[in-house]
Amino acid sequence: MKNDFEVLADGFVFLEGPRWKNDRLWFSDMWGYGVYSVTEEGDCEKIVDVPGRPSGLCFLPSGDLIVVSMTDRKLLRLDSHDGLMQYADLSLFATADANDMVIDSDGGIYVGNFGYDLFGGAESAMANLLRVAPDASVSVAAEDMSFPNGTVISEDGKTLICAETFANCLTAFTRHSDGTLSNRRVWADLGERTPDGICLDAEGAVWVSSFGSGEFLRVFEGGRIGEIYTVEGKRAVACNLGGKDGRTLFALTFEGEIEDIAKGAKNARIEVRRVDVPGAGNP
C-alpha cells in the first residue's frame, strides 16, 4: 500500500529511537546531535544536546531519560540539575558504536551495537547484545548477533525480539525473571528486507521499519505480513505506536543519500498515520 502518511515534523538530519511518553514522542536526531520531543499537534522542543551522537532512548522506572551515546559507547542519564551524566559504560563489551535499546519493567536495559566500524568501511563483524542491570552493571545477554538493532519486550515480559538488520530477520529469545535470555530462534524471516527500528502492538504483531526497501511492515510470528506501507523514495528508519489511544504509528523516514548525512542535510522527518491495533509491550 502506498504512503498514506502525513508529515508531523521535519527539518532533521537522521532520526532514531522514537518513544511515546508523557503525551509526547521522544526521539534522537543522531546526526543532529540532539534529543527532541514532539506532541501529536506538532509542537517540537529540543531536550538536550548529545555530542557523542544519540540513538536509542528509554525511561527508567523513576521517569529519568536514558540516552545511548553512540561513539563513546555509554548510556547517559538526564539529570534535571546537572544535565547528562554517565549511567553505564558499555565499552568493555561493545565492539563498535552503541545503537538502539529497550528497557524492561524492572529497569534492566538491553542495548545493541554495530559490531564493526560501519561508517569507516570496516569488514562486517558480529556483535553482542548487552544487558545493563538495574544497578547499571553491564553483561553480555547474547553473542554473535548480526547488527542487533531495534528491540522489543512482550507485554508479559517473557519474550524479547530483536531486529538483526543484516541477517534480515527478527530474532526472539525467552526472557527469564533475572533478565537472562535463552532459546534463541528466528521469530520472522524477512527475506531481503533489512529491519531497523521496531515496535509491538496489542495483537502480538511487530511493526518493522525496513530500511532498504522503504517499507513499514506489520509482521506476525512466523513471518506472515499483515499490512505494508511504503514510503516511496525514502528510507524507513524506525517506528513507534503512541498517541492518546495508542493507535498512531509514528514513522521516522529519511530521504536522500547516506552521503548527505555527513553534510548535515536535513532530509529526515516524522510522519504519522492511524492504525487499527494499539501499541503494547515495550517500547
In this structure, what are the phi and psi dihedrals at residue 93, rounded to the nearest 5 degrees?
A: -115, -20
Rounded to whole angstroms, how far apart are CA atoms 3 and 229?
6
pLDDT number for residue 81: 87
pLDDT number for residue 1: 53
Burial state string for 4-22 with b = 16 or more CB within 10 A and e = fewer than 16:
ebeebbbebbbbbbbbbbe
> Is residue 99 within 8 Å of 68, Cβ to Cβ?
yes
Mean pLDDT by 10 residues, the chain (283 residues): 84 97 97 97 98 98 97 96 95 96 97 83 88 98 97 97 98 97 98 98 98 97 97 96 98 90 90 97 89
Rounded to whole angstroms, how far apart are CA atoms 11 and 23?
22
pLDDT number for residue 243: 97
**Which residues is 66 bridged to in the sheet?**
58, 77
| Cis bond upstream, residue 283 (ω within 30) | yes
Rounded to whole angstroms, how far apart are CA atoms 239 and 17?
8
Instruction: Report the run of H or E that residue 261 belongs to, with start and end.
Output: helix 258-262
pLDDT number for residue 2: 54
Whole-prediction pTM: 0.96
Burial state string for 142-176 with b = 16 or more CB within 10 A and e = fewer than 16:
beebbbbbbbbbbeebebbbbbbbbbbbbbbbebe
pLDDT number for residue 264: 86
Torsion sign (Cα): 219, 168, 18, 80? positive
